[in-house]
Amino acid sequence: MSTLSEIARKVQKGEISAEKTVQESLDRVAAAQGLNAYISVLPEYALEKARDLDRRIASGETVGPLAGVPIAIKDNIVVAAGKTTCGSHILENFESPYDATVIGRLLAAGAVPVGKTNLDEFAMGSTSETSAFGAPVNPIDAGITPGGSSGGSAVAVASGTVPVSLGSDTGGSIRQPAACCGIVGMKPTYGRVSRYGLVAYASSLDQIGPFARNVADAALLLNTLAGFDARDNTSSTQVIPDFTSALGGSLKGKTIGIPKEAFGEGLDAGVEASVRAALAACEREGAKIVEIHLPALKFAVAAYYVIATAEASANLSRYDGVRYTHRTSNPKNLMELYSKSRSEGFGAEVKKRILLGTYVLSSGFYDAYYMQAQKARRVLTADFEKAFAQCDVIAMPTMPAPPPKVGDIFKDPMAIYLQDIYTVGVNLAGLPAISLPVASTEGMPVGLQLIGRAFGETELFGIAAGAERSAAGMGAG
Ligand code: GLN
411 assigned to active site: no
Predicted pLDDT of residue 477:
38
pLDDT (mean) for 264-288: 95
Predicted pLDDT of residue 361:
93
**CA distance linking residue 170 with residue 147, whole number of Å:** 14
pLDDT tens-place string over residues 216-266: 999 999 999 999 999 999 999 999 999 999 999 999 999 999 999 999 889
Decide: 354 and 315 in contact? Cβ < 8 Å: no
Identify which of 118, 170, 305 to mutate to test ligand 1's pocket (most ligand atoms within 8 A of the CB): 170
- Compute, in degrees rounded to 10, the torsion defined by CA atoms 392, 202, 413, 149: -70
Decide: 296 and 426 in contact? Cβ < 8 Å: no
pTM above 0.85, yes or no: yes
How close is the Cα of 108 to the center of ligand 1, in Å? 30
Q: Which CATH fold would you assign to the domain 4-225? A: Amidase signature (AS) enzymes (3.90.1300)
Identify which of 118, 120, 122, 124 to mutate to test ligand 1's pocket (most ligand atoms within 8 A of the CB): 124
- What residues form DSSP beta bridges with 450? 395, 434
User: What atom of ligand 1 comes closest to residue 174's alpha carbon?
Assistant: 8
Q: In the chain, what are the domain boundaries? A: 4-225
How close is the Cα of 310 to the center of ligand 1, in Å? 13
> Which residue's CA is the closest to the ligand 1 atom numbered 4?
125
Predicted pLDDT of residue 18:
98
Residue 8 has pLDDT above 60, yes or no: yes
From 452, 448, 450, select the one nearest 432 (Cα to Cα): 452
Predicted pLDDT of residue 324:
85
Residue 219: count other Cβ atoms within 10 Å of its Cβ: 28
Residue 441 has pLDDT above 80, yes or no: no
Predicted pLDDT of residue 474:
63
> Which residue's CA is the closest to the ligand 1 atom numbered 5?
171
Confidence of residue 1 (pLDDT cuts 50, 70, 90): low
Residue 338 has pLDDT above 50, yes or no: yes
Confidence of residue 475 (pLDDT cuts 50, 70, 90): very low
How close is the Cα of 249 to the center of ligand 1, in Å? 33
**CA distance linking residue 22 with residue 12, whole number of Å:** 14
pLDDT tens-place string over residues 289-335: 999 999 999 999 999 999 999 999 999 999 999 988 889 999 999 99
Confidence of residue 476 (pLDDT cuts 50, 70, 90): very low
pLDDT tens-place string over residues 208-229: 999 999 999 999 999 999 999 9
Predicted pLDDT of residue 443:
83
Q: Is the CB of 4 under 6 A from ligand 1?
A: no
Q: Is the CB of 172 under 6 A from ligand 1?
A: yes
5 assigned to active site: no
pLDDT (mean) for 153-166: 98
> Which residue's CA is the closest to the ligand 1 atom numbered 10?
124
Identify which of 173, 399, 418 to mutate to test ligand 1's pocket (most ligand atoms within 8 A of the CB): 173
Decide: 380 and 297 in contact? Cβ < 8 Å: yes
470 assigned to active site: no
- State the chain's mean pLDDT as an integer: 96
pLDDT tens-place string over residues 10-61: 999 999 999 999 999 999 999 999 999 999 999 999 999 999 999 999 999 9
Task: State what percent of residues in the chain have pLDDT above 70.
Answer: 99
Decide: 181 and 216 in contact? Cβ < 8 Å: no
